[in-house]
Amino acid sequence: MSAFISTFDVLFQLVTISKVVKFGRKKGKKVSLTNSDFWRGSYHIMTLYGILLSHGKSGRENDFILRGDRKVPLYSRVVEASPIKAIVLPVAGNNVGIQLREQDLWWKDFLSSANCHPGSNSYIPIYQPAESVTNILFSSGTTGEPKAIPWTQLSPIRGAADSWAHIDVRVGDVFCWPTNLGWVMGPILLYSCFLSGATLALYHGSPLGRGFGKFVQDAGVTVLGTVPSLVKAWKSTMCMEGLDWTKIRSYASTGEVSNIDDDLWLSSRAYYTPIIECCGGTELASSYIQGNPLQPQVFGAFSSASMTSGFVILDEHGIPYPDDQACVGEVGLFPVYMGATDRLLNANHEEVYFEGMPTYKGMHLRRHGDIIKRTVGGYLIVQGRADDTMNLGGIKTSSIEIERVCDCADESISETAAISVAPVNGGPEQLVVFVVLKKGFNAEPDKLKTIFSRAIQSNLNPLFKVNYVKIAPEFPRTASNKLLRRVLRDQMKHEISVRSRI
């Protein structure tokens, strides 16, 4: 069942929350949002904006997190980690029998306390410099420790501008994207809706099942954002069959490299509507390459740099390829980038993004870490992270290329993850393929190793071979569903190290 909240009602709640947060707190104080899944809908949105209106920096946490059918305790972790005051929001039902600390409050009591504070229910804005910090996000940590990234007042404007220019979000749209406030797409989704005049569609539940698809149908969603692994799950389980998604006029996808067959299936749900691919980062508050409605789109590819962005593709010596040449290399971003961070709270910004990067036409290029392929037709395809590049027999390749071949090598395969590890005693890197099997299928690692090796040798390079195959029930992922290859790599390094000592 869908419920609608008017802009007036949202504004009234925001002012109420702002009033409570501001009481007894100085301007600029930091407030933490712990687990901001949009599964609790408007509560999370109002909390974030109430904090911003009170001139704090984005506390509030859930008693537990719902992950499919599982309950993951959260409040108890917050209690262990911090003595600060917590505002607790029940995920299901009322107060679910959890005993709060003396200083903590339930969400309902927190809102009621607004009546105890003096002041009107009108809001008077305070003007801040453009570079003032509004909220702090953490990077996903797929290749290293998460970075604490402050967003300024320019960051929301940049994210919303990209959504308008590339995804074509506008007044009258109903915009939905399964995400959370801890992932960059959460704030971008909010700002995109409220700055463009679109309606924000929030689903209370897991986006993996038919319930989400029915919500998309009943809410009349016109712009749907996705993550490739979500689309793969919808397609493989056939849970969206029979639903009417024909009101969708624009899709967007980010977070992972898209699968062409999955994209074709998704596009067919809405009269073969184009899918706008987006690739960027938390530190950019947007994407540096995207599709757009003005150019023909190709599944799993990007048609241009994003609005006002510039980049070059570098060869192994750090020399940029000509802009019209088909090539593969690490991307170097132009340093002037509206909305991008100019500082990190737990790392050296200069060292992370600029140290060791070449100069191009007088500009010190900014590091992003993606390996990009430019096709003969000028389209761009992400080949993975520079951190995920492997050297097999003296030939560089990416995890993404290996996985594309292995995913289609056998009918039992649901998904694969490719990594390389160096032998304990030295020598060439060894290729390891982790596998998640489809439900109802069984397979032997040795048999899959042979199948994968043949497929890779036929489609990529006859000199490549798979050294290990590991079957896993699921892959480690971030909260935004990004694959954590570094965790798999660490697991395999440990296993090989133990074997060498036996």
CATH number for the domain including 310? Answer: 3.40.50.12780
Assign residue 42 the CATH number of its domain.
3.40.50.980
Query: Do 110 and 199 share a domain, yes or no?
Result: no
- Beta strand 87-89 with 311-314: parallel, antiparallel or unpaired? unpaired
pTM for the whole structure: 0.79
Residues 88 and 48 in one domain: yes
Both 311 and 356 in one domain: the answer is yes
Domain span including residue 94: 7-116
Domain contains 307? yes
Q: Are residues 152 and 262 in the same domain?
A: yes
Q: Nearest-CA neighbor of 290 among 368, 363, 382, 366? A: 382
Note whether 241 and 333 are same-domain residues. Answer: yes
DSSP 100: P
The whole-number pLDDT of residue 62 equals: 46
CA distance 387 to 144: 9
**Residue 32: per-residue pLDDT:** 63
CB 140 within 8 A of CB 478: yes
pLDDT of residue 31: 63
242 and 333 within one domain: yes
Q: What is the pLDDT of residue 182?
A: 77
- Give, in order, the Cα–Cα distances in Å from 501 to each of 431, 489, 494: 21, 19, 11
Domain end position, chosen among 86, 116, 146: 116
Q: For residues 194 and 303, state if they share a domain.
A: yes
Do 255 and 157 lie in a common domain? yes
Is residue 124, in this structure, part of any structural domain at all? no
301 burial level (CB within 10 Å; 0-12, 13-18, 19+): buried
pLDDT, position 278: 96
* pLDDT score for 128: 86
Do 229 and 268 belong together in one domain?
yes
Count of structural domains, the chain:
3
Residue 128 inside a domain? The answer is no
User: What's the confidence (pLDDT) of residue 73?
Assistant: 61
Q: CA-to-CA distance for 87 and 31, rounded, in angstroms?
A: 11
Q: Which residue has the tokens 């003296």?
A: 394
Dihedral (C-alpha) 63, 66, 72, 76: value to the nearest 10 degrees? -10
Could you tell me the mean pLDDT of each successive run of 10 residues in the chain, 502 residues long?
68 66 58 54 53 49 46 65 73 65 79 67 77 85 75 94 97 93 87 93 90 97 94 93 97 90 96 96 94 94 95 94 95 95 92 94 95 95 83 80 93 94 79 94 95 94 91 86 86 84 67
Instruction: Compute CA distances 146 → 122, 137, 283, 484, whole Å.
Output: 38, 9, 11, 12
Residue 430 located in a structural domain: yes
The residue among 384, 407, 431 that closes a domain is 384
- HSE value, Cβ hemisphere, 13 Å, CA-based, for 476: 12
Last residue of a domain, one of 358, 384, 410: 384
